[in-house]
Amino acid sequence: MLAYAIRRLILIPVTLLGILLVNFAIAQLAPGGPVEQAIARIEGHAGAASRIGGAGSDIQAAGPAREGTTGAYRGAQGLDAKYIAEIEKQFGFDKAAHQRFLIMVGNYLTFDFGKSFYRDVPVVDLVLEKMPVSVSLGLWTTLIIYLVSIPLGIAKARRDGGTFDVATSWAVIVGYAVPGFLFAIMLIVLFAGGRYVQWFPLKGLTGPDWDTLSAGGKVLDYLWHLTLPVAAMVIGGFASLTMLTKNSFLEEINKQYVITARAKGLTENQVLYRHIFRNAMLLVIAGFPSALVGILFASSILIEIIFSLDGLGLLGFEAVSNRDYPVMFGTLYLFTLLGLVLNLIGDLMYHWVDPRIDFGRRGE
């Protein structure tokens, strides 16, 4: 297993490089790059960058701007070529695409992600600033989903086909069918002053009087603000884990070792938690790292927008919209690296839960 872990660690830089290369190439082909958006702002044409055509028109493959290059940017015909060159240099577009990519990769090896194009703030500082919001949402959501889904999945497996199983399946079907952001809107309408009552705040993770509250008051205020966004994410995320847990237990319940354990006179709880639980929980435990990454960095984007939570999801969305490449690629690098490491941890957890599983022996 150690050899397998070492091979996976060696593959992480290769995978990172491939992901960065593909996304970098796509970004160069997308119209409305940072240079064009800067020109659009200067010209005063709001939203003109979204209408600028031509794949790859945001860079000049030949390098620095020369006389007559203003024609490469629609809407820039009235600007001096030297001024265009200064804008290109400001954003690093005075170099060819492959040079910019190599410089970026070299900087990323030392975790130097540069500064945001539009905020003049280091990318790392932006990520650290937004991290508490996304971590709060992700950790609480993951914790509650596991605390609800695992007992519910076990109960459904033990009562498979019964009244309890059928009744709770409706909740699971709703969780599957309805996206979390629709639940978020419904919760706002019902409980945040949308139409009925205003029991919970509409936005933010803290109230305006946060600094004046006691320690206990701050905890209550934080949980009060967190209730609706976490509820929306839990409702949209518990269904998959519940069914995974149920199906894992159902698969194990009918195996020979369970029949043997029952024949020895063990109680149902002893059979369930001594024998079935360890094997059935393999998939659930191994899926925890990837589930956490998904909840932290993907599922919360719309929730953050709806509840006006300034987290990593909203940061990434704004970076893509504004073509803020340092933030785009810096966060992509960090989150991909974290995801690859957590996936490796998931495989190692497989082996830890059941030492018989050894990925390093596959194919031998």
- The per-residue DSSP string of 221-244 comes to HHHHHHHHHHHHHHHHHHHHHHHH
Tokens of 125: 């500082």
- Give pLDDT tens digits for 299-332: 577 888 888 888 887 888 888 888 888 888 888 8
Q: How far apart are CA 324 and CA 347, in angstroms?
A: 35
Tokens of 269: 């709880």
Cα-based distances in Å from 170 to 175, 194, 246: 9, 27, 15
The pLDDT value given to residue 53:
42
- Give pLDDT tens digits for 112-131: 888 888 788 899 898 888 88
Q: How far apart are CA 293 and CA 48, in angstroms?
A: 35
Average of pLDDT values for 223-237? 85
Q: What pTM, to 2 d.p., does this model score?
A: 0.70
Cβ burial of 288 (10 Å; 0-12, 13-18, 19+) is middle
Alpha-helix residue ranges (DSSP H) falling in 264-324: 268-270, 277-280, 282-286, 288-297, 301-306, 312-322
Q: How confident is the model at residue 21 (pLDDT cuts 50, 70, 90)?
A: very high
Cβ burial of 302 (10 Å; 0-12, 13-18, 19+) is buried
Residue 136 or 89, more confident: 136
Cβ burial of 178 (10 Å; 0-12, 13-18, 19+) is middle
Average of pLDDT values for 345-354? 71
Does the pLDDT value for residue 65 go beyond 50?
Answer: no
Mean pLDDT of the chain: 77
The pLDDT value given to residue 358:
62
CA 83, 84, 88 angle in degrees (round to 5)?
A: 120
Distance of alpha carbon 221 from its chain centroid, rounded?
26
The pLDDT value given to residue 188:
86
Q: How confident is the model at residue 47 (pLDDT cuts 50, 70, 90)?
A: very low
- Domains in the chain: ranges and CATH: 31-109 (no CATH), 123-361 (1.10.3720.10)
The pLDDT value given to residue 18:
92
Query: b vs e for 193-216, b when ≥16 Cβ sit within 10 Å of the residue's Cβ?
Result: eeeeeeebbeeebebeeeeeeeee
Does the pLDDT value for residue 91 go beyond 50?
Answer: yes
The pLDDT value given to residue 62:
34
CA 349, 351, 352 angle in degrees (round to 5)?
A: 60
The answer to whether the beta carbons of residues 63 and 41 sit under 8 Å apart is: no
